[in-house]
Amino acid sequence: CYLYSHADPRTMAAKEDLYSKILPRRLRQSRLGSAKSGSNLDVLLNMGFPRPRALKALVSTGGRSVQAACDWLFSHVDDPFLDDPLPREFVLYLRPSGPLQNQLSHFWQQSRVTCGKNKAHNIFPHITLCQFFMCADHKVEALCEALQATVQQWRGRFPSPLPLELYISSNFIGLFVGDQVADVLKQFASDFANEAARKAEVHVEPHKKQLHVTLAYNFPMDHLPSLEKLAKGIEVKLGCDWLAVLFSRDIRFANHETLRVMYPYMPQNDDELELVPGDFIFMSTVDQSSTSEGWVYGTSLTTGLSGLLPENYVSLADESDTWVFHGFLKLNTSKTLWMFDGLLDSRRSDNTSAGDTTTLSLICHPVQVLRISGSHSRQPKRTLFVCRHGERMDVVFGKQWLSLCSDSKGRYIRSNLNMPTSLPLWGKQRDYDMDTPITVFGSIQARLVGEALLESNTVIDFVYCSPSLRCVQTAQNILKGLQQDGKLKVRVEPGLFEWTKWVSGNSLPAWIPPTDLAAAHFSVDTTYRPLIPVSKLTVSESYENYMSRSYQVTKDILSDCKNTGNNVLIVAHASSLEACTRQLQGRSPQSAKDFVQIVRKVPYLGFCSCEEQGDTGVWQLVDPPILPLTHGPNHTFDWRETLLQE
The CATH number of residue 124's host domain is 3.90.1140.10
**Distances from the Cα of 506 to the Cαs of 39, 339, 343, 498, in angstroms?**
70, 61, 68, 15
Across 500-631, where does the E strand assignment appear?
A: 567-572, 607-612, 619-622
- Residue 212 pairs in a beta bridge with 176
Are residues 129 and 173 located together in one domain of the fold?
yes
Kindly tell me if the per-residue pLDDT of 472 is higher than 90.
Answer: yes
Domain count of the fold of the chain: 3
Are residues 55 and 111 located together in one domain of the fold?
no
CATH number of the domain residue 583 falls in: 3.40.50.1240
Give the per-residue pLDDT at 486: 81
CATH number of the domain residue 69 falls in: 1.10.8.10
Kindly tell me if the per-residue pLDDT of 643 is higher than 70.
Answer: no
Give the per-residue pLDDT at 631: 78
Kindly tell me if the per-residue pLDDT of 167 is higher than 70.
Answer: yes
Phi, psi of 172 (to 5 degrees): -150, 135
Give the per-residue pLDDT at 291: 66
Query: Is 133 within 8 Å of 197 (Cβ atoms)?
Result: no
Active site residue 126: no
Read off the pLDDT of residues 47-62 as tens digits, 9 standing for 90 and up: 889 999 999 999 999 8
Residue where one domain finishes, among candidates 288, 307, 330: 330
Phi, psi of 608 (to 5 degrees): -140, 160
Residue 313 inside a domain? The answer is no
Give the per-residue pLDDT at 388: 95
- Kindly state the DSSP code that residue 438 receives in the 8-state scheme: B
Instruction: List the Cα angle 60/65/67 in 5-degree steps.
Output: 95
Residue of 95, 326, 388, 430 with catalytic role: 388
**What SS3 state is found at 197?**
helix
Residue 31 inside a domain? The answer is no
Task: Quote the crossing angle between the two packed helices 66-75 and 51-60, to the nearest 10°.
Answer: 110
Query: Is 595 within 8 Å of 543 (Cβ atoms)?
Result: yes
Are residues 71 and 219 located together in one domain of the fold?
no
CB atoms under 10 Å from CB of 504, counted, come to 9
Residue of 371, 549, 573, 582 with catalytic role: 573
Query: Is 419 within 8 Å of 449 (Cβ atoms)?
Result: no
Residue 64 among known ligand-binding residues: no
Please name the residues in contact with 90: beta carbons below 8 A apart, sequence gap of 6 or more.
Answer: 132, 133, 134, 135, 143, 246, 247, 248, 326
Give the per-residue pLDDT at 246: 93
Residue 156 inside a domain? The answer is yes
Kindly tell me if the per-residue pLDDT of 636 is higher than 80.
Answer: no
Residue 428 among known ligand-binding residues: no
Are residues 62 and 193 located together in one domain of the fold?
no
Are residues 115 and 224 located together in one domain of the fold?
yes
Sign, CA dihedral 353-354-359-365, equals positive
Query: Is 190 within 8 Å of 208 (Cβ atoms)?
Result: no
Q: Is the peptide bond before 161 cis (omega within 30 degrees of 0)?
A: yes
Read off the pLDDT of residues 12-33 as tens digits, 9 standing for 90 and up: 443 344 334 334 433 333 333 3
Residue 344 inside a domain? The answer is no
Give CA 583 to chain center in angstroms. 18
Share in percent of the chain as helix, strand, coil (round to 5): 35, 15, 45
Are residues 508 and 462 located together in one domain of the fold?
yes
Mean pLDDT of 620-625: 90
Give the per-residue pLDDT at 427: 60
Active site residue 256: no
Read off the pLDDT of residues 233-248 as tens digits, 9 standing for 90 and up: 988 877 777 888 999 9
Are residues 448 and 576 located together in one domain of the fold?
yes
Read off the pLDDT of residues 317-339 as tens digits, 9 standing for 90 and up: 988 999 999 888 877 654 444 44
Burial of 414 (0-12, 13-18, 19+ CB in 10 A): middle
Q: Report the percentage of the chain scoring pLDDT > 90.
A: 46
Are residues 576 and 525 located together in one domain of the fold?
yes
Phi, psi of 567 (to 5 degrees): -115, 130
Are residues 588 and 549 located together in one domain of the fold?
yes
Give the per-residue pLDDT at 344: 38
Read off the pLDDT of residues 420-453 as tens digits, 9 standing for 90 and up: 998 887 765 466 878 899 999 999 999 999 999 9
Active site residue 121: no
Output the CA torsion 278→72→483→474 (10° steps): -20
The residue type of 225 is P
Q: What is the Cα–Cα distance from 601 to 8, expressed in whole angstroms?
A: 51
Read off the pLDDT of residues 564-621 as tens digits, 9 standing for 90 and up: 778 999 999 999 999 999 999 888 998 998 898 888 888 899 999 999 887 667 889 9
Across 331-476, where does the E strand assignment appear?
A: 338-340, 383-388, 462-465
Task: Quote the crossing angle between the two packed helices 469-481 and 440-455, to the nearest 10°.
Answer: 40
Q: What is the Cα–Cα distance from 618 to 611, expressed in whole angstroms?
A: 8
* Rg of the chain on CA atoms, in Å: 28
Are residues 51 and 173 located together in one domain of the fold?
no
Give the per-residue pLDDT at 637: 58
Give the per-residue pLDDT at 365: 36
The residue type of 222 is D
Are residues 152 and 192 located together in one domain of the fold?
yes
Helix locations, 531-645, DSSP H: 543-561, 576-579, 592-600, 639-643
Residue 574 inside a domain? The answer is yes
Supply the DSSP string of 284-340, one letter for each residue.
-GGGGTTSPTTEEEEEETTT--EEEEEGGGEEE--GGGGPEEEEEEE-SSSS--EEE
Supply the DSSP string of 58-116, one letter for each residue.
HHHTTT--HHHHHHHHHHTTT-TTTT--PPEEEEEEEE--SHHHHHHHHHHHHHHHHH-
If we measure between CA atoms, which residue out of 413, 393, 410, 411 comes closest to residue 401?
Answer: 393
Are residues 206 and 326 located together in one domain of the fold?
yes
Give CA 69 to chain center in angstroms. 22
Number of H helices, E strands in the chain: 18, 20
Residue 425 inside a domain? The answer is no
Domain encompassing residue 72: 41-76
If we measure between CA atoms, which residue out of 607, 641, 634 comes closest to residue 439?
Answer: 634
Residue of 326, 389, 447, 549 with catalytic role: 389
Residue where one domain finishes, among candidates 294, 311, 330: 330
Burial of 591 (0-12, 13-18, 19+ CB in 10 A): exposed
Residue 237 inside a domain? The answer is yes
Output the CA torsion 437→440→446→448 (10° steps): 180
If we measure between CA atoms, which residue out of 563, 567, 508, 561 comes closest to residue 538?
Answer: 508
CB atoms under 10 Å from CB of 513, counted, come to 14
Specify the length of the chain in residues: 646
Q: Are strands 383-388 and 567-572 parallel, antiparallel or unpaired?
A: parallel
Half-sphere exposure of 423 (CA within 13 A, CB side): 25
Residue 637 inside a domain? The answer is no
